Amino acid sequence: MSLSNTKHQGCDFLLCITIAILVLFGLVMVYSSSGVYALEKHHDSLYFLKRQFIWLILGCGVLWLARRTNYHHWERFTYPILLATLLLLLAVMLPGLGLEDNGARRWLDLGFITFQPSELAKFALVLFMAKSLVKRADKLRNFAYGYLPNLIVLGFFFVPILFQPDLGTAMIICAVSFTMMFVGGIRKKFLILSGLALIPFIASAIFTAEYRMRRIMAFLDPWQDPKDTGFQVIQSFYAFGRGGTWGLGLGDSSQKLYYLPEAHTDFIFSVIGEELGFIGASALVLLFLVLIWRGLMIAYRSRDVFGAHLATGITLLIGYQAFINMGVAVGLLPTKGLTLPFISMGGSSMVVSMMCIGVLLNISDQKARN
């Protein structure tokens, strides 16, 4: 069947509803968690809300375009997208283009906006892995022809992201890529050996950067240094403890009042726990579980193998990042600096995540395979 004659079954309605609830809830929580801070820093309590709303509108436009674009077109342009994304990652290091904040160079200064190329790199790698797993389907158990090319491309992205420095995103792309390769049929021995080979790089990244070492120590025992390294995690614990079962009420968080750093980005889940309690936090977790369920169902019902791999990768990408962010907030993981998809303040994350959902909806729109 030609692409032009592809039949449609309608996009996934439950996924659409879930995303709509997430982004609207995210707007509410961005305002709730940032209003006081925005008023003091920018003299406008709506400052972050207005910026996030603009990014959301842009994200909706990108979602619509991705939803209308046959996902096979992404496969055709995989390599140009991959190359362009790699160049953007390298451009971050150039003076005058890269924007530094808190010791990290992760953003491109485009004058009227800033953009974080590592967010696009996540999608580009998912796209490449999906194409590669299809292209090398009969060679996946061969190290040199089926596995090594994937590993090399992953390395080209892993290294510049690691040196931004952004260990959290570097670990995300590794986790998603390795899972996609495992699902795709790459031999487990190759993946295990690669994982073992990564340990020295990760250990070096941790032990050679004092702030990362302090994060690990704070994760193991935040009470050892409650006023410095353990401060974020402890304040997050306080937020969840104060919230209890039902929460203090929307807008009534006190931990967001300069006790909880990055309350509208990295630790927005803590504010949700304090204001809406265990019930509200659990409802958010349930929404992400629904998103993952629908994404995996779309992968299972995809009309071809490329669509199945692409849907799986997108679902893993959003799911992993969501649960790492929430895991950090409740103290199950060391601090990573990753946003909560669709919820946290962050323009690059919002636009790329919405684009991913648009691609996912287009895959669901194609006639299911028999």
CB neighbour list of residue 89: distance below 8 Å, 6 or more residues apart: 117, 118, 121, 157, 160, 161
Within a 13 Å sphere around the CA of 314, how many CA atoms are in the beta-carbon half? 29
Distance CA 204, CA 95 (A): 26
368 pLDDT tier (thresholds 50, 70, 90)? very low
Q: What is the DSSP string of 295-313?
A: HHHHHHH-SSHHHHHHHHH
Give the pLDDT confidence score for residue 183 in this predicted structure: 93
Is residue 8 scored above 50 in pLDDT? no
Is residue 7 scored above 50 in pLDDT? no
Condensed to tens digits (0 to 9), the pLDDT of residues 330-351 reads 999 888 778 999 999 988 999 9
Is the peptide bond preceding residue 200 cis, with omega within 30 degrees of 0? Answer: no
pTM value?
0.93
10 pLDDT tier (thresholds 50, 70, 90)? low
Condensed to tens digits (0 to 9), the pLDDT of residues 31-59 reads 999 998 899 999 999 999 999 999 999 99
Give the pLDDT confidence score for residue 163 in this predicted structure: 86
Least-confidence region, from 147-151, 194-198, 234-238, 258-262: 258-262
109: domain range? 8-365
| DSSP letter (8 states) at residue 5 | G
Average pLDDT of the residues of the chain: 89
Is residue 172 scored above 80 in pLDDT? yes
For residue 370, is it within any domain? no
Give the pLDDT confidence score for residue 83 in this predicted structure: 96
Distance CA 337, CA 341 (A): 12
Is residue 2 scored above 60 in pLDDT? no
Distance CA 343, CA 263 (A): 12
Share of the chain above pLDDT 90, in %: 65
Distance CA 334, CA 240 (A): 17
Q: Other C-beta atoms within 10 Å of 152: how many?
A: 9
367 pLDDT tier (thresholds 50, 70, 90)? low
Condensed to tens digits (0 to 9), the pLDDT of residues 296-332 reads 999 999 989 999 999 999 999 999 999 999 999 999 9
Give the pLDDT confidence score for residue 93 in this predicted structure: 87
The answer to whether 134 and 127 have CB atoms below 8 angstroms apart is no
For residue 3, is it within any domain? no
Give the pLDDT confidence score for residue 107 in this predicted structure: 87
For residue 155, is it within any domain? yes
262 pLDDT tier (thresholds 50, 70, 90)? confident
285 pLDDT tier (thresholds 50, 70, 90)? very high
Is residue 1 scored above 70 in pLDDT? no
Give the pLDDT confidence score for residue 130 in this predicted structure: 97
Share of the chain above pLDDT 70, in %: 96
The count of residues in the chain is: 370
6 pLDDT tier (thresholds 50, 70, 90)? very low
How many separate domains does the chain show? Answer: 1
Most confident of 143-152, 205-214, 262-271, 279-288: 279-288
Condensed to tens digits (0 to 9), the pLDDT of residues 82-109 reads 999 999 999 998 887 888 777 778 888 8
Q: What is the mean pLDDT of the segment spanning 166-174?
A: 90
